[in-house]
Amino acid sequence: VPDVVLLGPAGCGKSALTGALAHKLRRHHRVLTVNLDPGVLRLPYLPDYDVRDIVTIPRLMREEGLGPNGALVRAMEIIVRRLRVPKRGHTYRIVDTPGQLEIFAFTPYGPAILRKLENPIAVFIIDGTLRPRDLPVFYLLALATRIRLAVPTILVVNKADLLDDRERKRLLNYLTNPKLLKRIRVSGLIADMYHEVCDLLATLVPAQRIPLVSAITGEGLDELCDLLHEVYCVCGDLT
């Protein structure tokens, strides 16, 4: 029974994709949705388990005089202790994570939460509307997140509905061949480092399919489901 954990930088579509993926998988499977974001006000899906029943950001800000990020750190600390994710004969649990990736992945709490899940598979979401020249940085973030969480990870590009055919091809080409990113002209202080990072990515990034999906139109979700199934069955082949 895999737990599918949706991760990615702020606004990449974690919550939207949680809803869309659950909707898709529910045609053939029993699916539970889990919201781990104590700060969200409205979700585009109805969570079966919701950490806001344990703690919320507005309450912590009020009661402990914290800012939004301090409150999220505090919330994760509380959640780790009290989290009891339900098991009800499901075949998939889809897990939505907080907007601030670094508070989930780069504190002890996200990794601790993943240890409470069953066979977690991470789906790292890249926003398809990023400029190609920004891809190396997001790739590094995906790799750093993967090192922190140490679970099998699939990369997906979301918001495909906003891209035309040319943009889709270009993006996938760059993502599957990071060496091509060296062709992008960057100048100034970071130019050398940028090119070295592209070389590094070319050696570190595993050859794997990268589904192009849209949480809005549902395109590409079949491919993502197939890939999840493969990763779960083969377990390790893509990690």
Ligand X SMILES: Nc1nc2c(ncn2[C@@H]2O[C@H](COP(=O)(O)OP(=O)(O)OP(=O)(O)O)[C@@H](O)[C@H]2O)c(=O)[nH]1
- DSSP assignment of 52-86 equals GGT--HHHHHHHH---HHHHHHHHHHHHHHH----
43: three-class secondary structure by DSSP: coil
Contact status: 52 vs Mg ion (CB under 5 A): no
Site string for ligand X, 18-37 (x = CB under 6 A): -------------------x
Of 33, 56, 153, 214, the one binding ligand X (CB under 6 A) is: 214
Of 3, 4, 7, 13, the one binding ligand X (CB under 6 A) is: 13
Of 99, 110, 120, 152, the one binding ligand X (CB under 6 A) is: 99
From 13, 234, 199, select the one nearest 123 (Cα to Cα). Answer: 13
Pairing of strands 92-96, 31-35: parallel
The residues, ordered by sequence, that sit 6+ positions from 168 with a Cβ below 8 Å of its Cβ are: 128, 160, 212
Nearer to Mg ion, 16 or 201 (CB): 16
* Sign of the dihedral through C-alpha 221, 222, 225, 227: negative
Nearer to ligand X, 44 or 132 (CB): 44
Of 184, 216, 218, 232, the one binding ligand X (CB under 6 A) is: 216
Site string for ligand X, 145-184 (x = CB under 6 A): -------------xx-xx----------------------
Nearer to Mg ion, 7 or 201 (CB): 7
Q: What are 122's strand-pairing partners?
A: 5, 153
Is residue 117 a contact partner of residue 95, using CB atoms and an 8 Å limit? Answer: yes
Binding site for ligand X (CB under 6 A): 8, 10-16, 37, 99, 158-159, 161-162, 214-216
Under the rule (CB under 5 A), what is the footprint of Mg ion?
A: 14-15
